[in-house]
Amino acid sequence: MSTQEIEIKVPQLGESISEAFIGEWYVKQGSYVAADGKIVGLETDKATFDIPAPVGGVVSRIVKNVGETAAIGEVIGFLTPAEKPAASPAPASTPATSAPTTAATAPAKAGAAAGGGHVMPAAERMMADNKLAAGSVQGSGPGGRVLKEDVIRTVQSASAPAPVRVGGIRETRKVPLTPIRQTIAKRLVEAQQTAALLTTFNEVDMSAIKKLRESYKDVFEKKYGAKLGFMSFFVRAVVSGLQQFPQLNAQMHGRELTYFNYCDIGIAIGGGKGLVVPILRNAENMSFADIELAIIELAGRAKNNQISLEELEGGTFTITNGGVYGSLLSTPIVNPPQSGVLGMHGIFDRPVAVNGEVVIRPMMYLALTYDHRVVDGREAVSFLKLVKDLIEDPTRLILEV
């Protein structure tokens, strides 16, 4: 090993974590990375982590490949400190006597794409069949990857019409489950097998909240630097519900029930590597602005895989919002050992009966899944009805009545 090389090691990720899964090398071997730039993404059974470059340099060697596991402290690669390479000079004009490389004369090379992205195998073969030059196809996939559809589009957009030879490619690929996906699968099956899960539904008229947000969104954003969303209303409503129906905030451990005098609310957020559920600690003490700012900050870090393990641990109740993806109705699954989860859904204009007349209102379905071993149906239905009433009359949340 060169004395200049710096070891890239798996850092300490938590007391109970002994190894990590190599999720993605952001920098290929032989490529340059700036100081603090992401080198490699690691995954555990609870969270994802990125290792930044301590200095600018070239990833000289990769020891552990994607899909392999490495112990805490184990070396997975090496970084050689170096200055950022200067930009390549523009190529000299081509002499008139030389034959230029065109899409019709040069076959594609593996891994070469117009944007520097990787060429997928199906796209590579199609480029070769259609005699497309390496780098002549702009990739539209993640990280600039060239897909088969990109090759078809390039051929079809050529000045001279040419048949696209699609062929009969039939591919399969096997990808090992990441630790997070393994844990999700294990816990979901565990919840179904060990808890007596039941779901109750209701619907809520979102007119009042939409009107309130429209009236105060500008002054709220000006004062707090954040938009007034729906989630803060639901968090506050859930906290009120948990305080009145503490069974939803309890957990079964063996032959005992543990009741919590605080509300640690898990908020399901779509992250860069999948769904994560960071916790709003002591949500009962948080204001609307506190909740909105915390969720914005957590969502930003989740997107960049920067949620810490401590922020995912614990939680007494969970809220998940499938409505952001267009869900009309679903049955969420409890995150054990919790006893309840509230599922929010999409807001859609629907005809409803109000005072004997049919009117159009923005409606949302709510779903509460609960552990029937801990929570009786009466408490569950009453909890969800209270959440509905508070959302439909949000001044009660402000007055705490």
State pLDDT tens for residues 161-191: 556 666 677 888 887 777 777 877 888 888 8
45 in Cβ contact with 178 (< 8 Å)? no
Instruction: Give residue-wise pLDDT tens across range 33-79.
Output: 999 899 998 888 767 788 999 999 999 999 999 888 899 999 999 99
Percent of the chain whose predicted confidence (pLDDT) is above 70: 86
Strands 197-205, 256-259: pairing kind? unpaired
Superfamily of domain 179-399: Chloramphenicol acetyltransferase-like domain (3.30.559.10)
Instruction: Indicate if the pLDDT at residue 96 is higher than 60.
Output: no
Domain boundaries, the chain: 6-81, 106-166, 179-399
pLDDT (0 to 100) of residue 101? 42
DSSP state of 96: T
pLDDT (0 to 100) of residue 107? 45
Instruction: Indicate if the pLDDT at residue 20 is higher than 70.
Output: yes
Which CATH code, of 3.50.70.10, 3.40.225.10, 2.40.50.100, 2.40.37.20, is assigned to 6-81?
2.40.50.100
- Of 272-286, 343-357, 373-387, least confident by mean pLDDT is 272-286
Residue 372 among the catalytic residues: yes
Exactly one of 50, 372, 389, 393 is catalytic; name it.
372
Instruction: Indicate if the pLDDT at residue 143 is higher than 90.
Output: no
Q: Rounded to whole angstroms, how far apart are CA atoms 131 and 128?
A: 5
DSSP state of 255: T
Alpha carbon dihedral 73, 79, 80, 85, in 10-degree steps, equals -160
pLDDT (0 to 100) of residue 110? 45
Residue 376 among the catalytic residues: yes
Exactly one of 205, 218, 376, 393 is catalytic; name it.
376
Tell me the pLDDT of the chain averaged across its residues.
85
Nearest-5° Cα angle at 221, 283 to 209: 65
The whole model's pTM is what?
0.66
pLDDT (0 to 100) of residue 98? 42
